[in-house]
Amino acid sequence: MSIQGLVHIKKAISNLNPDQVRLASNRTLRIGIRAATPDRYREIQNFLLADLKPGRRQESATYLSEELLTAAAPSDITIYDEAVVAPPRSLIYRRERPDVLVRRALDLHPDLGVVLARSFPPFRRPFIERVISRTCKENTLFSLTTALPDVIPNIIELPWAVAEFASDAAFLTMNQLKMAFLIAAASDREVGYREQKSEVATVIASAFGWRAIARELVGKIPFGGGLIGKAAISYAGTKVVGLSLERLYSVGYTYTREDRNELYRDAYQQGKKAATRLISQLRPDLAARYTGSGSAPRGAAGYPPGAD
C-alpha cells in the first residue's frame, strides 16, 4: 500500500459517519394493517415477523397495529389485506405473492428500507440486494467518470461530487464501507468502525489489490481500451465484497476462495455490460472506442473476512 493512497482513503473515510446508518436503522415505525378478519391480520403479522428471535420479534411487533378507518395517528406505512377495498397504488398483501408487497414498499419508501430490513426478515435480502446493486453502479460510474473526457459531473447520479476525491481507491473504499454499514444494519448486526473492524480492514486492503490490477489493465491495452475492464473490476470487486458480507451476517461464515473466485468471474462479466451501457449513455460518440478485455483478470477479487 502507498502512503499517499492511505492518506486519501483516511480523508475520504472521515466524511463517512456510521451514526447516520445507526439512526436510520433504529428509528421507530408505525405500520398499520387493514385486514378483513382477525385471522387475516395475524397471517400478515406472522409473515412480517417470521423467523425472528423472541426479543427482536417482540420489539418488531410493537411497530404493527390494526389500523382502523378512524385511526388518529397516521402510519408510516399502511398494508391492506387483499380481501379489503384499498385505494389506488396501495401496498396490498396477497397470500400467493407476498414478494410484490415487499418490492413495492421498498420502491415507495426507500428512506425506510434499512429499518424495514432490520425489523422484518422478508425485507432483508431484497433491501441488501438493492444496496449492493446501487453501490456497484456508483462505483462503476466513478471509475468511468474519472477517465472519460468531458463528462459533466451534474448528470451523474453519484452521492458525492467527483472532484472531492483524489483517487479511485478513496471513493470506492468509502462507498464499500457505507455498503458494509448498511448490510450490517439490515442484518440486525452492530454497525461501526470498531464493531466491524475485521470487515473494514478487509475492504481497505482489498481496494489496493483490485486498484493495482485495474491500473495494469488500462496500461496494457492501448487507446483507452482497458477502461471497460477497469470499470468492470470496480463493479466485480464491490459485488464480491457485498455478497460476502451478506453471507457472513446471514449464516455466520463467508464463501470459500473457490466460490469467491466464481462469484468474481460472473460479476466481472456483469460489470463489463454495465460499463458498456454507461459509456453509451455518457459519451455515445466514444462508445465504439472503448472495448473491454475478454476474461476477468486473475486475482482481482477481494478477500472477505473469515474466507480462509
Q: Which residues make Cβ contacts (< 8 Å) with residue 5, sequence separation at least 6? A: 167, 169, 170, 208, 211
In this predicted structure, the answer to whether residue 151 has a pLDDT above a threshold of 90 is no
| Residue span of the structural domain in which 50 resides | 28-109
In this predicted structure, the answer to whether residue 218 has a pLDDT above a threshold of 90 is no
Whether residues 62 and 141 fall in one domain: no
Dihedral angle over CA of 46, 52, 53, 55, nearest 10: -80
In this predicted structure, the answer to whether residue 100 has a pLDDT above a threshold of 90 is yes
- What pLDDT score was predicted for residue 162? 47
Whether residues 101 and 196 fall in one domain: no
pLDDT, tens only, 267-298: 999 999 999 898 888 777 776 776 544 556 65
Over residues 85-111, the mean pLDDT reads 95
Dihedral sign (CA 114, 118, 124, 129): positive
In this predicted structure, the answer to whether residue 46 has a pLDDT above a threshold of 60 is yes
Within a domain: residue 263? yes
Query: What global pTM score does this model have?
Result: 0.84
Count Cβ atoms within 10 A of the Cβ of residue 52 and give its class: 0-12 exposed, 13-18 middle, 19 or more buried: middle
Whether residues 158 and 280 fall in one domain: yes
Residue 291 to residues 11, 231, 275: CA-CA distances in angstroms? 33, 11, 10
Within a domain: residue 151? yes
Greater confidence (231 vs 132) lies with 132
- What pLDDT score was predicted for residue 204? 75
β-strand partners of 208: none
- The span from the CA of 51 to the CA of 188, in Å, is 13
Percent above pLDDT 70 for the chain: 74
Domain count along the chain: 2
